[in-house]
Structure 1
Amino acid sequence: MTTTPQPPTRARDLGVPFDGTPGRWNAITDVPGVEVGYATIIEGAPGDEVVARTGVTAILPRGREGAGVPCAAGVHSLNGNGELTGRSWIEESGSLTLPIGITNSHAVGAVHTGIDRWANEVHPELSAEWMLPVVGETWDGYLNQINAGHVRPEHAILAIESAAGGPVAEGNVGGGTGMNCYGFKGGSGTASRVVRFGAETHTVGVFLQANFGTRDELRLAGVPLGRESAAPNPYEDIEWFVRDGRRARVRAGSGSVIGIVITDAPLLPGQCEALARRVPLGLARTGTSGSHFSGDIFLACSTANAGAFTSSIPTAEPGEDPYETARFVPWGRIDPYFEAVVQATEEAVANVLVAARDMVGRDGHANVALPHDEVRAAFGGRAEHTAA
């Protein structure tokens, strides 16, 4: 006898209410052409010499075939205690061309190299000029041996090559494998919203690598789940920094969050930056006040206007039609897209927490997932499935 696999549990399945209309998968991949891939590295038992709880996430706004075709893009940093490479060029040119990588804080170089190698192999015309990959990070050193060099360039290549559309795995996967969020197990999560614009329909997708917040801050749909939870909080309640030889205990709220927003709505680079600035508003709905020790950095891009926003070295004089053109949503009509970012960000945080599972890592360090029964009890057991 065969059985049909049950879809993963997400926040809506536990009765958490959200505003707005999600896309088919309620994921960043609802934006046409977007692909997400992971390389998840879980090696060793807690007492072993080598313990890895880490990985790489790859997000391809135009898929593998579309790498090198610029997207209008903008970035925003709520708190700069973190890293997102390639920011200077995005701010200068307003464009993004390569896959986006997300990993742990000490693996940025390896992932950067991996994206370079992949592009040189698959799209050599890109490496003939220059490459400035975008790689973001959050810190997984509580569960993962972060200084052991577990992430290598080939893991970034694997994440890119595994990227696909459709449903997106969440929780303990990819770059989010060893992350913690609001004192619970954190990781990777996503959501989307559909925006009507005249006769057209656009999609706004958000992806988070969530590793931020204190237990007492957590709220879902206004309910203070964190402070009311009976689940243990080993991440903040033990003096593990002291035992590890540091001079102080880890600060509550430390960690970071990387947020990626992608839409097929036609936007200018400055409008993409404005979308990126709305991610913190969605995070705030879940309780965070933005710790000084959390690097909170966000990128937004538009896959519309293919063929615009290029920046290649010219090989000839301008022809008879030397200009690029782009259409864009008027600034006066952009508010629904801001609303979509805020709504999808809030839900992506909830999806991270619901999808994550208990994990034990290096030196016996452990963290527990947000208990599903507590969520159901808080919201009266209402359930709504997200996939069509």
Structure 2
Amino acid sequence: MMSELSLGNMRVVDDLTLYEDPGFSKKKYFLLSDEREIYLKLDEQQYLYFKVLIPYLNGLTNKEQIEEELRNQLGQSIDISKGIEFLYQKGLFYGTEKKTVSKVELELSGKKLFEAPMVAIQEKYGLLLRRTLVFIMILSWISIIVGMFLIIRDPQIVVETYRESKSFRWSEVALWEYVVVGVGIFLSVIIHELGHILTANYFGIKLKSFNFLIHMGISPVFYIKYKNLYATTSKKKALVLMAGVYFNLIQASLFWLLLCLTSDWKFAVLMIMNLGAIISNLSLLGVSDGYHVAAILFGVEGLRWNMLKQMSRIIQIKGQGRPVMSRKGWLMVGYFLLSYGMTFAGIYYWIKLVVDFLGLHILNSNVISILAVAAMLMSVGYFVIKFFKSLRNMNLS
């Protein structure tokens, strides 16, 4: 046990941080280490306990000295054994080389294709990024106001513009137009992430990296890693997370204006894609921005991580009888399964949409459907096995 060991050659990690978040309705407390990827929510008593304990863990050689110093400071005895043991189990001492698992990467169960560091970029271009955000915000207000004005002035313009955007033949569409739409969709996703980056930079939140992986082997996912996101107020965290959705709204409004001016089907596709992204990201299922914002608003950060632990507990005790869990635990598992069920349903309908479209030009739609579904099942099956293996090996302490 750590409490029985000498602390002479051990010290807590340098970036171990305690943070008191005023929250929206009540205070929240966190124990954080980006170096070890540990983000723990505490109650008030735990926060006060570690607030007096952690400053003494570096520089003093043993448990007795620390307890004596704390007794002199507080005027009462305090047992530090459990606190030291807790930090040791979480790998928050140097020398405890405990391998941590990224919660995001575990849940996404994807293959990371690249990770672009953002630290140097933010340090060098931080001011430029802030000015860029201000410019985009001004542009967004103008585009949204003008777009709403057009709709209010003539509500029929929506229906008429949509009809005009469909008045073309697929056989007349050039290859370069497909390329333009593909590039536009890709850029829309990048701009969504840019919203997170610019807003985080504006609030002084440090950026670690820009990441891209393939979720379940078929779905591309971009996401940002932050260095100190939890060590900031709930209001700022919520604004950073919602910034991506707002940038989709900006894009939708701009494509709407271009559609009104040109009736070009390409702008209709890009507008609808961004509106769909808004709906998807506001969903409370999966690891959407909407879920994370709701967790912050209601003070239930870490809910999905607890769901993963519940799933892991069920898997690890398989064959030992029915797992004993509270009603809340079973509700979390149900929500977790619903989230993934909706994810798979969304992937299926996305493939179906692509298949139906490709069926107009290339092969019989049924043949493509069979091939696409087979490829999807093989890829998803591999990553599901990998995901459950991670759950089986999770540390439940």
Structure possessing the higher radius of gyration over alpha carbons: 2
TM beyond 0.5: no
TM interval, short-chain normalised:
under 0.3
Which of structures 1 and 2 has the larger relative contact order (alpha carbons within 8 angstroms, sep 6+)? 1
Instruction: With the length of structure 2 as denominator, give the TM-score of the two structures.
Output: 0.26
Q: TM-score, with normalisation over the residues of structure 1?
A: 0.27
